[in-house]
Every structure is written in C-alpha cells, then in structure tokens.
C-alpha cells in the first residue's frame, strides 16, 4: 500500500525528470548539426541527386515509411558509398546509415522510421568522389486519438 | 519467437538489379521512454544488418533508435551469380538473428 | 476541432442518426496512403510477423489435430464472431482459447493465433447474428454517455466521423481489421485493448479484456459493420 507522501514524492520526481529543458529545440538542432558534421566534416553539402520519399503529413510518428533514392550510375568509378538519414526533432538525430557500393546496382534504401515531432528529415548521400548531396523534407506529425495513457 | 522475414526473388537474370526486403521482429526500445514511475527503460535495439552474397559483403546498415519497431530494411543488389545471400542482424543484449536465401542466376 | 466539439454539444437537440449502410467506411479509408501500404504489404508489413507466429502455433499447440489445415477449416469463421457457443456469447479470441485457456489475453501467442485465424477470412463480408439480448446491450453501451466528459461512443463515431480530433480524422469505429498492428502501440493488439484506449480517452470507467461488456459491444460493432469486408490483420494509427 503506497503512502500518500511516497506517491506525491514519486509524482514530483517524475515530473522533474520528465521536464524537458526550455531550450530543447536548440539542443536538438545543435545535435542534428553535429551529427551531420561528423559525417560530412567541412565538405559542402549540395541539394540534389537525392530523393527522399517521406509523407509530408504523418498519421503516427512511430512508424513512418521512408525511402531514399540517389541518382548515380553505381559503377566502380562513380557510386554512392553511403546514405545517411537524419531528423531534426528526435531526441537523437541519426536514423539510418546504409553502406552501399557498386554491387548495389541502384542507390536505393527504404525503411520505417520514428519521427518524434514536426520538423525536417534529411537524407545525405556520400559519393565515391568525396562529394555530398542531400534532400530535405519538412514533415508534419499528428497524434492518434485515444491512447493507452490518456494524453488525448 | 525471434522472427525474421526475407524476400528475395528465387531467380534472376545475370546483371539484373534485384530488390531485397527484410523484416525483423524486435521492439527497438529507444532508451528514451520512461515507465509510469519515471524510470528510464534502457535502450535495446538492433544495431546492424549485414548482407553477404556468396561470402562478399554487399550491404551494411547501421540502425539507430529512430528506426521503428520491427525494422524493415529494403535495399538492392546486382544478381551476379547463383549462390546464397546471408543476412545477419546484431544488436544490444547479444541479440543475433540470421537467415539464408538461395538465388539462382540465369 | 472546435466544430467537432460544437456539433457534439448540439447533439441532444438534433436528431443524431446511425450511419446509413451505404455510407459506412472502414478505418482503412481514413488512413494516409503510406499507412494503407503497410497494411497491404503481405510480405514485410508489420503484422506479418504475427501471422507467421500464428501459423507456427497452429501446429505446435495442436489446433491442426482437430481443425486440420486452417486455410480450409478457418475460412469464414472470424466473420461470424462474436457468436453463441454452448449458449454463451464468446468473442473470436475467447473461442481461440477454448483448448488453450492458459494463453493470457493480449499475449503474443493469443494475438498471433487470433490474427492467423482471422486472416483466413480476409476479404469476406462480416456476418454476425444480432443475438439478443447481447446486441441490444452492446448498442446501449455505444449510445450511453459515460465518464468525465459525459460522452457516448456514438457522438464521435456516428455523428462526427470524418472530422478531426488532435489532427487525425475520427473513423467510424468498425472492427474490420482486428487484431491490428497499431502504430501507436508499436505492436499487435486486440479490439479489447483498443476499446480500453477509447475509454481512457473518454475518461470513462474501464472494463476488463474479455468482459461481458466488451464482448457485447464487439457484437454490436460487428453487427453495425455487417457486410463490410474483413481486413485482418489490419494496420491502424
């Protein structure tokens, strides 16, 4: 039998722990930029050659189908080495890194991701010649109604 | 019941680019969720999927907590020769799953 | 959202009818194209894992001993439940448990077996009987104002379907795809689990999985959905 005092203490502790810092957006944006930085270094990232297919309006952020296709001949001389996917508003920005190569035939990868909040998803293609190409999509995440724990 | 599903065409023409679809049963616990009492549920995810074609690695994926539960990963490869495609998933808490699929290249 | 609330408040003063049979649409039609594609993916859709488990359990638990090949013997079964068995109203899951009562509600095994059995009726029209007094009890539940919001199921699902609630369209609440892989749960679950989520959303009294109230409500919901095609296992947000 939990005492009222213990219950209140747990409640306060939970609320304190669950409280996100007020500059959370800034923190996450910084983490997002850093994660991309780790991959590209100081190299410029150009928009183009990459197509990120993700629904602009998402039914439920727990499973979002996404596909990335890169325009590349996928030959030994000219191919996509890796496709990196990031998202801006998740607690952690990395989604997937797919290591490809000329054996892939096509630079295409698909998965289902978790997108926590409305924001940007970006796919970056790392080419064999050292260049980086990207495509960003802004997505809106909606909540399902009537949940297990009653947030709505 | 560790379950994986792999979809590979049984037969392909030499040089054809084939699509490989994989599905693994795994909760992909992010490490960001909390219990009703506020305790953090530890991260427990699949970290890597590797595909080898007759022993040569042709695809590798690094998965992060942002991959949805029961991860689907779809990719392609060139059907170069008949043989076997081997798939291996590894993750936290010594998670390991494997699957083999034969391919006939004509 | 405001228009939905306003319409709901108006309801006692306006005649609020049940959905005409020809206007009934499955929850599938309220989902985005991408979510629908997840349900239609027979090979790597998220529910496939449970179907495979169900198929394995059908053998392992000895169901095949009496029922043989499920593809033949279970065809047309799921669309008839809830039904009377030995004069008692039972849901499909309760019937699936009839020789495996050790399987708890919402266990992976029971969900997998139920999904596998239900899947054998995929594409068939829902065909339950309006068994009395159960179907009337279920109907009363659906139309009864409950909980802190004094809200009845019918006020959202008969009167305001199609309008938005928290950014998502309110579906008509037809159990055309159970058990479902609910994206919100990130796993497979039963109609009972979904109904408990509804009652949480309504701030109303909860009922237990497998309770008479839930089985009667399920009978009413299936009767209300009669003729609609079964999609099990479905994917829903």
C-alpha to C-alpha distances, A24 to A85, A121, A151, B41, C138, nearest whole angstrom: 21, 18, 20, 21, 46
Measured in degrees and rounded to the nearest 5, phi and psi for residue B46 equal -75, 130
Compute the 3-state secondary structure of chain B and give helix, strand, coil in percent, each to the nearest 5: 0, 60, 40
> Which domain CATH number covers C64?
1.10.760.10
Mean pLDDT for C204-214 is 96
β-strands A119-127, A80-87: how paired? antiparallel
Measured in degrees and rounded to the nearest 5, phi and psi for residue C79 equal -75, -10
DSSP A5-69: HHHHHHHHHHHHHHPPPTTHHHHHHHHHHHHHHHHHTTS-EEE-SEEEE--SEES-TTSEEEEEE
CA distance C200 to C197: 5
CA distance C92 to A87: 42
Would you place residue C12 in the very low, low, confident or very high pLDDT band (cuts 50, 70, 90)? Answer: very low
Residue range C99-147, pLDDT digits in tens: 899 999 999 999 999 999 999 999 999 999 999 999 999 999 999 999 9
8 A C-beta contact, residue C207 and residue C196:
yes
CA distance C177 to C103: 21
Rg (CA), chain B: 16
Residue range B44-98, pLDDT digits in tens: 999 999 999 999 999 999 999 999 999 999 999 999 999 999 999 999 999 999 9
What residues are paired with A47 via a beta bridge?
Answer: A134
Q: Do C184 and A147 touch (CB under 8 A)?
A: yes
CA distance A12 to B38: 10
Q: Do B70 and C56 touch (CB under 8 A)?
A: no
Q: State percent of chain A over pLDDT 90.
A: 75
Is residue A5 included in any domain, yes or no?
no
pLDDT at residue C11 in the model: 46
Would you place residue A150 in the very low, low, confident or very high pLDDT band (cuts 50, 70, 90)? Answer: low
Q: Which of C49, C108, C187 sits opposite B5 (nearest CB)?
A: C49
Residue range C19-56, pLDDT digits in tens: 999 999 999 999 999 999 999 999 999 999 999 999 99
The three-state (H, E, C) secondary structure of C96-161, written as one string: HHHHCCCCCCCCHHHHHHHHHHHHCCCCCECCCCCCCCHHHHHHHHHHCCECCCCECHHHHHCCCC
Interface of C with A in 160-189 (CB under 8 A): 165-168, 170, 182-186
Is residue A8 included in any domain, yes or no?
no
Residue to mutate among A111, A116, A122, with most B CBs inside 10 A, is: A111
Q: Do B5 and C46 touch (CB under 8 A)?
A: no
Q: Do C197 and A146 touch (CB under 8 A)?
A: yes
Residue range A11-25, pLDDT digits in tens: 555 554 456 788 888
Mean pLDDT for C152-157 is 96
Residue range A38-71, pLDDT digits in tens: 999 999 999 999 999 999 999 899 999 999 999 9
CA distance C103 to C96: 10
Which chain B residues are Cβ-neighbours of A120 within 8 angstroms? none
Task: Give the CATH number of domain B4-31+42-105; options: 1.10.357.10, 3.40.50.300, 2.60.40.420, 2.60.40.10.
Answer: 2.60.40.10
- Listed in sequence order, the residues at least 6 apart from C50 whose beta carbon sits closer than 8 Å to its beta carbon are C108, C111, C112, C115, C116, C179, C181, C188, C233
Cβ of B66 under 8 Å from any chain A Cβ?
A: yes
Chains near B, with 3+ CB pairs < 8 A?
A, C
Q: Would you say residue C2 has pLDDT above 70?
A: no
Residue range C67-102, pLDDT digits in tens: 999 999 999 999 999 999 999 999 999 999 998 999
CA distance C21 to C92: 24
CA distance A69 to A94: 18
Structural domain range at position A134: 23-141
Chains near C, with 3+ CB pairs < 8 A?
A, B
Would you place residue A1 in the very low, low, confident or very high pLDDT band (cuts 50, 70, 90)? Answer: low
Is residue A7 included in any domain, yes or no?
no
CB-side neighbour CA atoms (13 Å) of B73: 27
Number of domains forming the structure of chain A: 1
> Which domain CATH number covers A129?
2.60.40.2470
pLDDT at residue B47 in the model: 98
Shortest distance between the Cα of C59 and any Cα of chain B, in A, equals 15
Measured in degrees and rounded to the nearest 5, phi and psi for residue B98 equal -140, 155
pLDDT at residue C13 in the model: 40
Cβ of A60 under 8 Å from any chain C Cβ?
A: yes
pLDDT at residue C14 in the model: 40
- Listed in sequence order, the residues at least 6 apart from C168 whose beta carbon sits closer than 8 Å to its beta carbon are A59, A142, A143, A144, A145, C30, C237
The complex's ipTM works out to: 0.95
Closest C-alpha to C203, from A151, A144, B36, A8: A151
Structural domain range at position C141: 2-12+19-236
Domain spans, chain B: 4-31+42-105
Q: Which of A63, A87, A98 sits opposite B61 (nearest CB)?
A: A98
Is residue A12 included in any domain, yes or no?
no
CA dihedral (C35, C41, C45, C48) positive or negative: positive
């Amino acid at each position: 039998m939990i005492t009222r005092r213990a219950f209140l203490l747990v409640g306060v502790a939970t609320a304190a722990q669950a409280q996100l810092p007020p500059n959370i957006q800034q923190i996450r944006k910084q983490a997002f930029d850093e994660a991309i930085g780790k991959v590209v270094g100081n190299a410029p990232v150009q928009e183009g050659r990459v197509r990120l297919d993700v629904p602009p309006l998402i039914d439920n952020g727990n499973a979002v189908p996404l596909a990335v296709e890169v325009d590349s001949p996928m030959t030994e001389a000219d191919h996509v080495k890796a496709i990196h996917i990031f998202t801006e508003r998740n607690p952690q920005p990395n989604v997937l890194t797919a290591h490809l190569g000329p054996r892939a035939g096509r630079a295409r990868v698909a998965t289902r991701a978790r997108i926590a909040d409305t924001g940007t998803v970006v796919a970056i293609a790392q080419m064999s010649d050292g260049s980086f190409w990207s495509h960003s999509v802004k997505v809106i995440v909606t909540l399902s109604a009537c949940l297990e724990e009653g947030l709505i | 019941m560790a379950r994986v599903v792999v979809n590979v065409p049984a037969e392909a023409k030499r040089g054809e680019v084939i699509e490989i679809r994989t599905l693994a049963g795994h909760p992909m616990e992010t490490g960001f969720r909390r219990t009703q009492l506020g305790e953090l549920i530890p991260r427990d995810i699949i970290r890597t999927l590797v595909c080898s074609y007759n022993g040569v690695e042709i695809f590798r994926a690094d998965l992060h907590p942002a991959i949805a539960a029961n991860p689907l990963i779809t990719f392609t490869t060139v059907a170069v020769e008949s043989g076997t495609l081997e798939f291996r998933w590894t993750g936290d808490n010594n998670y390991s799953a494997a699957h083999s699929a034969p391919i006939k290249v004509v | 959202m405001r228009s939905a609330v306003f319409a709901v408040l108006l309801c006692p003063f306006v005649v609020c009818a049940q959905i005409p049979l020809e206007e009934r649409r499955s929850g599938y039609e309220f989902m985005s194209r991408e979510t629908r594609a997840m349900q239609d993916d027979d090979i790597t859709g998220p529910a496939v894992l449970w179907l495979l488990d169900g198929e394995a359990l059908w053998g392992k638990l000895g169901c095949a001993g009496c029922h043989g090949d499920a593809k033949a013997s279970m065809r047309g079964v799921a669309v008839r439940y809830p039904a009377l068995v030995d004069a008692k109203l039972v849901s499909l899951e309760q019937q699936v448990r009839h020789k495996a009562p050790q399987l708890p509600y919402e266990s992976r095994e029971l969900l997998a077996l139920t999904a596998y059995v239900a899947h054998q009726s995929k594409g068939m029209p829902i065909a339950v009987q309006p068994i009395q007094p159960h179907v009337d009890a279920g109907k009363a539940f659906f139309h009864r104002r409950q909980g802190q919001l004094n809200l009845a199921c019918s006020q959202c699902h008969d009167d305001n379907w199609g309008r938005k609630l928290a950014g998502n369209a309110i579906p008509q609440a037809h159990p055309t795809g159970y058990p479902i892989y609910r994206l919100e749960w990130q796993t497979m679950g039963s109609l009972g689990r979904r109904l408990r989520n509804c009652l949480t959303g309504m701030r109303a009294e909860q009922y237990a999985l497998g309770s008479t109230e839930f089985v009667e409500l399920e009978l009413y919901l299936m009767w209300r959905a009669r003729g609609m095609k079964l999609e099990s296992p479905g994917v829903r947000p």
